[in-house]
Chains A and B, each alone.
Chain A
Amino acid sequence: MEMNKKLEQIKNKKISLMGHIVGGYPDVESSLKAAKGICRHADFIEVQFPFSDPSADGKVIEGASYKAIDAGFTVEDGFKIVKELSETTEAVVIIMTYANIVYKYGIERFVKKAKENGANAFIVPDLPYGSDEGLSETAEKYGIGVIQVISPGVGDDRIKMLGDKSYGVLYVTARRGITGGKTDIGAETEEWIATVKRNCSKPIALGFGIKSNSQVRALSGKTEIVVAGSYFVEKITSLSKGSDFEGELAKAAQELLS
């Protein structure tokens, strides 16, 4: 679904879910089914195009990325997953990856292909605003955009600027560090959210270490969107070949929101 339409749709929702899977993990078909399952409850879905050197990711997503690459994942497989999700679900489909995957494919070619296949936004942590090789400009030209990511420690001015530039929502990591691990939603998190809110009027998607419904409940009313990645990837890892990936992941998404 188109970003702005979705933001209108979730306006009165207490909290929305952004799910995250690694494309091609454990194989293209299963990752697609898993994503479809998540999308029964999620308003946004991030499809990570795996990279050999995912330096912003923790063990879980890193490991899944290697397995997907070893299994022969190609960028075209990623677009296939994106297309299917955009045609069969109501979620905003976001491509998450690293600079080199986009750069090697060619920025404009990548954006064009993403748009054609129904992707609505990009998250590329190592193509920061200001040296993104023209990614945001190109995306804008095609009517889609780049979601900016910020983390604790970033100054107010930079939050303002990135909030302004970010497409639709601002992605906020709940803590420092990498994906996975655990995040306690406490006073510190709330203070950080408040800082972001003071400097950015867009809805925020809070992620990193979201793994339980109690965390989601604690965030309800404080942030518009929660992001869960390692949680879903771990779930996928626990399933054996031939499992009902769609049903199991739908259940996992539902549990998170319960």
Chain B
Amino acid sequence: MKFDADKMTGYFGEYGGQYIPEILRPAITELEAEFKKAINDKSFLEEFNYVLKNFVGRPTPLLFAENATKALGGAQIYIKLEGLANTGAHKINNAIGQALLAKRMGKTRIIAETGAGQHGLATASACARLGLDCEIFMGEVDIARQRPNVYWMELFGAKVTAVTSGTKTLKDAVNEAFREWTARKSDTHYIIGSALGPCPYPDMVREFQRVIGREVKEQIFAYGNKLPDVLVACVGGGSNSIGFFADFLEEKEVRLIGVEAGGKGDNPGEHAARVAGKGADMGIVQGYKSLFLQDDSGQLTVTHSISAGLDYAGLGPELAYLAEEKRIEFAKAYDDEVLNAVKFFAKHEGIIPALESSHALAEVIKIAPKMAKDKVIVANMSGRGDKDIFITAHALGGDTWVQFLKEEVARYGNE
């Protein structure tokens, strides 16, 4: 369904809204008005598409994963290689869209939160490309586990600020970015990296990510297929999934599956599965109403995932609504299943999916064998896994990797 900006309410059923302190109202009102104008403005869209083509590298390929299909012996598996976009994930689509919008509003400075570092990286890259100052807020825990991205962000000229409050992960980085935004004058735009936050963010992020599904539709037809039977995407806040699903929401015969972080187990604190797991309830946090993992008093609970990008207590409001409507089914993948999926698809297809995306691929491994051979599954590989080398090489490479790191440190010692 085409998006009608004039009818945007910020609500998806009961979910969404604009729960913001007064101090943010001028900035959010300005953003809302500008987004409504821009998304219907031909010249803005032309510029956006130009950058997507010539800088991001769109369209990203749709791979027919023939070897994996054979190995699993069921449905035909296609993988949208979104991770081949510049900076390695779908995050760049939204970062470019919002950075262009910020320029239109005359902003000179961008702030953003990041979990896995992919959104921070995309934002830093967009800012370098478009000539904007950039500061990225990142939890201390995430800095430690996604170090390569910190280095690249700094190379792009961004300032990376460590967030040491709360759980020191994604949600705390969001809080810190909001704090910074309230303190700044009108020169700053906050690029939220997922389909969450107060209106207009969920709508805006979906519109900038919609290109993923739009391309898939063309590409799957170009392979000579009809509509796919199943689409699978991982769900953190929900930006890659909603962008992937958006153009298929009306095609009721297409099953849509969102995969959440099953983490280490089903107890509170061990996972980040808001729909497919236990411990989430309706709440109002970080500007929107949705499902949040929380305790009986309304305090957000600690989350865990092997992937920094899915390790978030809240769920984008549109996803929560579509879960309630049963339009999107939710599943979860445990950490070990995720690592197994990385291994499986690397070996069979020569791709290195990000740990986040590997949640979707783990679900494919589960469902494909049970489906008939003429059925088609498309999974979104939202990112590539280069950034995860310190996690995957440690988990899968074992002693040789640790030995290498020790030797590397020793080499530095001799310099």
Given A52-B166, A53-B286: A149 in contact with B184 (beta carbons within 8 A): no
Q: Which residues of A contact B184 (CB under 8 A)?
A: 176
Q: Is the CB of A128 within 8 A of B22?
A: yes
Q: Is the CB of B166 within 8 A of A158?
A: no
What's the minimum C-beta distance from A165 to chain B, rounded to whole angstroms? 12
Task: Say yes or no: is B323 at the interface (Cβ < 8 Å to chain A).
Answer: no
Q: Is the CB of B283 within 8 A of A128?
A: no
Contact of A162 among B22, B26, B174, B282 (CB under 8 A): B22
Q: Which residues of A contact B161 (CB under 8 A)?
A: none
Q: Which residues of B contact A176 (CB under 8 A)?
A: 23, 182-185
Q: Is the CB of B22 within 8 A of A148?
A: yes
Q: Is the CB of B19 within 8 A of A127?
A: yes
Q: Which residues of B contact A62 (CB under 8 A)?
A: 165
Given A66-B166, A74-B297, A105-B298: A150 in contact with B179 (beta carbons within 8 A): no
Bound-complex Cα distance A59 to B164 (A) = 10
Q: Which residues of B contact A99 (CB under 8 A)?
A: 19, 284-285
Interface size of A in residues (CB-CB distance below 8 Å)? 41
Given A53-B166, A53-B286, A55-B175: A126 in contact with B298 (beta carbons within 8 A): no
Q: Which residues of B contact A149 (CB under 8 A)?
A: 21-23
Within 8 A of A (CB), among B137-191: 165-166, 171-172, 174-175, 178-179, 182-186
Q: Is the CB of B284 within 8 A of A173?
A: no
Chain A residue, CB-CB nearest to B22: A150
Chain B residue, CB-CB nearest to A154: B22
What's the minimum C-beta distance from A183 to chain B, rounded to whole angstroms? 12
Interface size of B in residues (CB-CB distance below 8 Å)? 36
Q: Is the CB of B183 within 8 A of A178?
A: yes
Q: Is the CB of B182 within 8 A of A177?
A: yes
Given A127-B284, A173-B23: A104 in contact with B179 (beta carbons within 8 A): no
Task: Say yes or no: is A239 at the interface (Cβ < 8 Å to chain B).
Answer: no
Q: Which residues of A contact B17 (CB under 8 A)?
A: 131
What's the minimum C-beta distance from B279 to chain A, rounded to whole angstroms? 13
Q: Is the CB of B25 within 8 A of A158?
A: yes
Bound-complex Cα distance A162 to B287 (A) = 19
Q: Which residues of A contact B19 (CB under 8 A)?
A: 99, 126-128, 131
User: CB-CB contacts of A139-161 with B at 8 A, as 1s and 0s?
Assistant: 00000000011110111001000
Q: Is the CB of A126 within 8 A of B23?
A: no
Q: Is the CB of A178 within 8 A of B182?
A: yes
Q: Which residues of A contact B294 (CB under 8 A)?
A: 100, 104
Q: Is the CB of B25 within 8 A of A154?
A: yes
Given A69-B299, A155-B26, A176-B185: A104 in contact with B21 (beta carbons within 8 A): no
Bound-complex Cα distance A101 to B299 (A) = 7
Residue with the highest number of chain B CB atoms closer than 10 Å, among A101, A127, A153: A153
Bound-complex Cα distance A55 to B186 (A) = 19
Residue with the highest number of chain B CB atoms closer than 10 Å, among A55, A69, A133, A173: A55
What's the minimum C-beta distance from B40 to chain A, rounded to whole angstroms? 25
User: CB-CB contacts of A46-89 with B at 8 A, as 1s and 0s?
Assistant: 00000111111011001100100100011100000000000000
Bound-complex Cα distance A128 to B29 (A) = 14
Task: Say yes or no: is A125 at the interface (Cβ < 8 Å to chain B).
Answer: yes
Q: A53-B175, A74-B297, A104-B298 are in contact. List 9 more A-B contacts (CB 8 A).
A: A55-B179, A56-B23, A58-B179, A62-B165, A63-B165, A104-B283, A133-B284, A155-B26, A177-B183
Q: Could you list some 19 contacts between A and B, CB below 8 A?
A: A52-B300, A53-B300, A55-B175, A55-B178, A56-B21, A99-B19, A103-B282, A103-B283, A104-B281, A104-B283, A126-B20, A126-B284, A151-B22, A153-B186, A154-B25, A155-B26, A158-B25, A173-B23, A176-B185
Show the binding face of B for A, using Cβ within 8 Å. Answer: 17-23, 25-26, 165-166, 171-172, 174-175, 178-179, 182-186, 281-287, 292, 294, 296-300
Sorted nearest first, the 7 A-B pairs with minimum C-beta distance are A104-B298, A177-B183, A151-B23, A99-B284, A125-B21, A52-B299, A55-B175
Show the binding face of A for B, using Cβ within 8 Å. Answer: 51-56, 58-59, 62-63, 66, 69, 73-75, 98-101, 103-105, 125-128, 131, 133, 148-151, 153-155, 158, 162, 173, 176-178
